[in-house]
Chain A
């Protein structure tokens, strides 16, 4: 059960949109931006508020790759596996990250909720291949070594904050 603040925030978000079916995606995008994931309770809440069924809302939210019903880590790392990045060896980078973070295709988020590792079809930064992004910041010309360094740096940043 989510505490009341979640619903208050969601009400605030809904107020910025119209209460109709076409607002579903923008609203849940905003919720996801707020919490870095889409709590199922809130999806159902939004569905009720804008007058669509739960099944419909779930149907839409599960269709799009960007929505996650599971909480994501503080740093969401997306490794680009678009054509250019693939040709310029993005997979070894991904493998290195899986290894460093002890993650796998099935387990995308570290237990300390610090990192979520995903692949993305193409970030459109092909000239800089291979690239990855951390919370939408692009890191160009990556190598497995640079990826390891990056993880260290992010860990350090997170530690410093705490």
Chain B
């Protein structure tokens, strides 16, 4: 890769990369996000490569191999007579001269439609094949690539309608993918692919056309608010760092996305890492930082690998390092891996962790913008926030403010999971209603169950119910509802979810992840958890509700950091929305969702029971008795609710009574 020493050179690289992409008659993009890789997309990639290699009718172009590539490289001896094997994307000029169809096979980042993975997208037709198996590759290659035919069984169908074009699928159609625009459409391991889409043009613009102050102004003008949860004004943060006396400053990217049920940032880091790197570069230029750190949680090995590669490529191109694009501006980027502590998502804990300390939040002031990493002024934004920056520079604050509501402009990525038909990663304008997200994009509740609630913002968030479905998803509206956007996890729940158990689950999460520094969080969440455990075990008392409320009030008013302060939110919001479920658990010892083990009541249907005694023999508590050939019964006093009988009944006579 050549060094890019000026804006013109960037433009030339972009033109060449574009042409190269256009020259390939079809491109196969195999999703290589964590989800699809887990589903076996790595094998699909390899299989398709082999097929292409063995096919005399096409010339092929590969993306550079990182993850699983060594094996392939060895088999793909370059230079066979009629094929143009292009190992690293350079020298593609010759491809267009070969007079036969050519095919590009690339691994892309996450498409977001994880439920349907592994996904294979075929360009330029925009076909999306879903749930692809390695066995399907031959057919894809023969029919679609060589003959342009559709394979109907691999297409997505909804309500009997078949969707050939990815963009037509309701899941995508209702989205506004700006931050995630490239995710799934480009090869994330290849910087030219990003440059081809106009990548690093925003950096070129700020370096050659704008002063740092103008950059800060533009971002402030766009009213970009932090996507990590708090919704703090990014431009203001930058301006504060820029105004510090201390001239050594840092830019830090928070990629420690730890909320259970959230993976937006991971998808960006894996699918379009250069976008956030470009955002960080722009931030560094704006505030005068020369060093930057990306803190990625250790559970995201692929993201770390892609970021490392992206940084190496950007350095090679001279887009990171000294004298970037021939200017005086220099910026160096480091990656820090998390080591397993949720609390490191909190700013001061994160910087402490980079410094090699225990990741414990510290008191503020001084704030991170004054004394952050290594005691120096620090811009700390999350992945999605940085990924928003290039387009604000490219298209202007005015354009950006045209998206979403006045006070929360732009889009927001959400991880839609739980009991919803189409789980996955989505992006919608701020202000979209919850209803649109769950029912239009998400396709409604799984197995056509009834919608019960949605947990938003993870363990720091709250739950919203039926009546809240039309609430606008933006920072301020959610805050008013006692929830928060958090990092953007949306976990949909149906009537089979027990809300008390959900509250217990979140509390056990926060409790386990409490750093232990301040008393309210360390001891208070522990006691809240004990009470909740008691309730789901059927030992709750009515006073427990008051205890929970006063502990919650104390913790949210006195805890040291945001995580502690928001820890009681899931409990409070479920208590508010589902008081009857708490009462049932405490008073009637009943769990209407049939989730809480202790409250399950196993019964034998005398109509169906043939008296075979298999259940009685499998019961570890000897709670089942009866005469052979006549219906058996379960002694609920002795029953330990293990469910062994249920699994063992050959006649389906045993069920759980709710």
Say whether A associates with B: yes
A contacts, CB < 8 Å to B: 20-26, 29, 52, 59-60, 63-67, 82-84, 86-87, 120-129, 131, 136-140
The chain B residue sitting closest to A67, CB to CB, is: B339
Q: A120-B299, A138-B37 are in contact. Are A125 and B341 (CB under 8 A)?
A: no
Q: Pick from B85-93, B244-252, B279-287, B415-423 the stretch touching chain A.
A: B415-423
Interface of chain B residues 391 through 415 with chain A (CB within 8 A): 415
Q: A83-B261, A83-B455, A138-B38 are in contact. Are A126 and B337 (CB under 8 A)?
A: no
The chain A residue sitting closest to B337, CB to CB, is: A29
- Contact assessment for B298 and A140 in the assembled complex, using a CB-CB cutoff below 8 Å: no
Question: What's the Cα separation between A129 and B491 when bound, in Å?
Answer: 12
* Cβ contacts B105-121/A at 8 Å (1 or 0 each): 00000000011010000
- Contact assessment for A136 and B301 in the assembled complex, using a CB-CB cutoff below 8 Å: yes
Q: A65-B341, A83-B458, A84-B418 are in contact. Are A123 and B497 (CB under 8 A)?
A: no
Question: What's the Cα separation between A60 and B355 when bound, in Å?
Answer: 11
9 nearest interchain CB pairs?
A: A127-B114, A65-B340, A138-B38, A64-B339, A82-B260, A122-B260, A66-B340, A124-B263, A126-B417
The chain B residue sitting closest to A50, CB to CB, is: B356
- Contact assessment for B261 and A126 in the assembled complex, using a CB-CB cutoff below 8 Å: yes
Residue B359, interface by CB 8 Å: yes
- Contact assessment for A66 and B356 in the assembled complex, using a CB-CB cutoff below 8 Å: no
The chain B residue sitting closest to A86, CB to CB, is: B505
Question: What's the Cα separation between A125 and B338 when bound, in Å?
Answer: 18
- Contact assessment for B505 and A83 in the assembled complex, using a CB-CB cutoff below 8 Å: yes
Interface of chain B residues 71 through 124 with chain A (CB within 8 A): 114-115, 117
Min C-beta distance of B561 to chain A, whole Å: 15
Min C-beta distance of A2 to chain B, whole Å: 22
- Contacts of A66 on B, CB cut-off 8 Å? 298, 338-340
Residue B436, interface by CB 8 Å: no
- Contacts of A26 on B, CB cut-off 8 Å? 336-337
- Which secondary structure dominates where chain A touches chain B? mixed
Residue B259, interface by CB 8 Å: yes
- Contact assessment for A25 and B38 in the assembled complex, using a CB-CB cutoff below 8 Å: no
- Contacts of A126 on B, CB cut-off 8 Å? 114, 260-263, 415, 417, 423, 491
- Contacts of B493 on A, CB cut-off 8 Å? 87
The chain B residue sitting closest to A30, CB to CB, is: B337
CB pairs A–B below 8 angstroms (23 shown): A23-B356, A60-B357, A65-B339, A82-B260, A82-B261, A83-B455, A83-B491, A86-B260, A86-B505, A87-B493, A122-B259, A122-B262, A125-B114, A126-B260, A126-B261, A126-B423, A127-B35, A127-B117, A127-B417, A127-B424, A138-B35, A138-B38, A140-B35
Which listed residue (B35, B298, B342, B353) contacts A128, Cβ 8 A?
Answer: B35
* Cβ contacts B422-440/A at 8 Å (1 or 0 each): 0111000000000000000
* Cβ contacts B232-274/A at 8 Å (1 or 0 each): 0000000000000000000000000111111100100000000
Interface centre among B301, B356, B458, B489 (most CB of A within 10 A): B356
Which listed residue (B34, B35, B257, B341) contacts A64, Cβ 8 A?
Answer: B341
- Contacts of A124 on B, CB cut-off 8 Å? 34, 257, 262-263, 266, 299-300
- Contacts of B424 on A, CB cut-off 8 Å? 127
- Contact assessment for A121 and B423 in the assembled complex, using a CB-CB cutoff below 8 Å: no
The chain B residue sitting closest to A59, CB to CB, is: B358
* Cβ contacts B322-346/A at 8 Å (1 or 0 each): 0000000000000011111110000
